[in-house]
A and B are shown apart, each in its own frame.
Chain A
Amino acid sequence: MITYSIIIVAGTGLILGVLIALAAKFFSIEQDPKISELSAILPGVNCGACGFAGCADFAKALLEERASPDMCPVSSPSIRFLVAKALDAAHIEPAKRIAVVFCGGNNHHAKTSAQYNGVSDCRSANLIAGGGKVCDYGCLGLGSCARACPFGAIEIIAGLAVIHPELCTACKKCIKTCPRTLIKLVPASVHVHVFCSSPDKPADKRKCCDVSCIACKKCVNAAGENQMTIAGFLVRINYENPPADDLVEKAACPTKCLSNTYPSSYTRAKITTAEEEEKTA
């Protein structure tokens, strides 16, 4: 009886082994070696938490740019870093994006209707009659975003949040914080923006802010076709097809609302060497 069982099981195993070997020899196809490289980095537990069928499928999706490394909730930051690095080696790098505050109304340009003495936080101010500025859509300048930024990339200059592009990592923390949703991610390669988010009528905007977009369309005409879009009384850069940086000079925006990465009325406060040293330390 033992002999028979050994023969049966060993024989089945042998037949199947030979079958697999033959199939592998005659039906083999080449597979992208990057997939196995990436799967080796991933946690390899095939838990399916990413929504794909397993780590190998996720690796394939990563290579085909159908997924991003942060979709794997199981992997640690170091694994994500390795995955991103491996993807860089495969020349898949998403364009760098930075956050921009779409408002240019600092204390000198935007008029105030009241003095806000409450808690120094934009969300609180927004709840109490919309803070001190007349414009209901402008930056409140109380620095909630600056406090939320883990990289110290946001500075409040004269009552207006300004983001330093070198320090911005596009982590979206500030975007979630801003009660007026003024902050948006844009491609870092675009240096010209319309610093206004107010959909009000041009006449009303001019009453409350010197640097608002009055929809005069000078920039739209100066830019190439389809490079700017206009929605209501607000002009926007088409970030899919952005205009060149010299549009600021060409358009000669009457309110200086269209400007380079920072509102032109003040130069960006330089990061002091002390801060840089602190950053590297």
Chain B
Amino acid sequence: MQNEYLLITIGAVLVNNFVLSKILGICPLLGVSKKLDAAIGMSGAVIFVLTLATFVTASIYNLILAPNSHFAKLTGVNLDYLQTLVFILVIAGLVQVVEIILQKIAPPLYNALGIYLPLITTNCAVLGAVVINAKEARGILNSTIYGFCSAVGFALALILFSSIREKLELAKTPKAFQGTSIALITAGILAMAFMGFSGLVK
């Protein structure tokens, strides 16, 4: 049992890293990697939203939408095809609610997560994680762990990348490569480095 969680963790963080291996969430990778502070805030928000989103969507999926769910057996209908629609709706709505509540009851946390919280509600990394969960037919607990771990993987990639980019600002880059182009090349090299983990977990 613990072995399974370990496999999910290592698989999501290192082997099938969301950014560098699955190429999901590239927008924040390039957009908010100029400063390490911003990257850390973004990472925190992604971890928060993904854990929450995977938990809620996995609950809905396992209870209502899945072909073998209680609801499906009771009514005899297969609502599997609704998953993308319902997932986006639930994630967007839920994050709005959580944001409003956080702003009121936990201002420091709200400030730390900042604008990233609403920005990533419809991010492909978030939707990707919940859809992968549904496809793999994971249980609620496994889904939540997978969501949390893939967000940690995202955070790892983002923080690594932004640290490199901060150093790149000081480096002597040829004029044609300055800015986004050297960032894209760096992202590619980083992704190649993460290829070293492939095959570790199936």
Task: Name A's B-contacting residues (CB within 8 A).
Answer: 1, 4-5, 8-9, 12-13, 16-17, 19-20, 23-24, 27-29, 46-48, 51-54, 56-57
Q: Which of B90-98, B123-131, B132-140 contacts A (4 or more CB under 8 A)?
A: B90-98
When each residue 23-47 of chain B gets 1 if its CB lies under 8 Å from chain A and 0 otherwise, what string results? 0000000011011001001100000
* Given A5-B82, A47-B31, A53-B42, 4 additional A-B pairs, CB 8 A: A1-B77, A27-B103, A53-B114, A54-B115
A28 to B102, CA, bound (A): 10
Q: Which residues of A contact B31 (CB under 8 A)?
A: 47-48
Q: Which residues of A contact B18 (CB under 8 A)?
A: none
When each residue 96-115 of chain B gets 1 if its CB lies under 8 Å from chain A and 0 otherwise, what string results? 11001101110000000011
Cβ-neighbour of B119 out of A4, A24, A54 (below 8 A): A54
Q: Which residues of B contact A27 (CB under 8 A)?
A: 100-101, 103-105
B38 and A29 contact, CB distance less than 8 A? no
Q: Which residues of B contact A53 (CB under 8 A)?
A: 32, 38, 41-42, 114-116, 119
Q: Which residues of B contact A23 (CB under 8 A)?
A: 96-97, 100-101
A17 to B96, CA, bound (A): 10
A169 to B26, CA, bound (A): 41
- How far does the Cβ of A277 sit from chain B's closest Cβ, in whole Å? 42
B100 and A9 contact, CB distance less than 8 A? no
Task: Name B's A-contacting residues (CB within 8 A).
Answer: 31-32, 34-35, 38, 41-42, 60, 64-65, 75, 77-79, 82, 85-86, 89-90, 93-94, 96-97, 100-101, 103-105, 114-116, 119
A56 and B85 contact, CB distance less than 8 A? no
A202 to B180, CA, bound (A): 51
- A selection of 24 A-B contacts at a CB cut-off of 8 Å is A1-B79, A4-B75, A9-B82, A9-B85, A12-B60, A12-B89, A13-B89, A16-B89, A16-B93, A16-B96, A17-B93, A19-B93, A20-B97, A23-B101, A27-B100, A28-B100, A28-B104, A29-B103, A29-B104, A47-B31, A48-B31, A51-B38, A52-B38, A57-B115
Q: Which residues of A contact B100 (CB under 8 A)?
A: 20, 23-24, 27-28
Most buried by A among B75, B94, B97, B105: B97
- How far does the Cβ of B94 sit from chain A's closest Cβ, in whole Å? 7
Cβ-neighbour of A5 out of B34, B79, B97, B116 (below 8 A): B79
List 3 A-B pairs, minimum CB-CB distance, nearest first. Answer: A16-B93, A27-B104, A53-B115
Q: Which residues of B contact A56 (CB under 8 A)?
A: 115
Q: Which residues of A contact B94 (CB under 8 A)?
A: 16
- How far does the Cβ of B124 sit from chain A's closest Cβ, in whole Å? 16
Closest to B101 in A: A27
A53 to B37, CA, bound (A): 10
Cβ-neighbour of A57 out of B82, B90, B114 (below 8 A): B114
Closest to B96 in A: A20
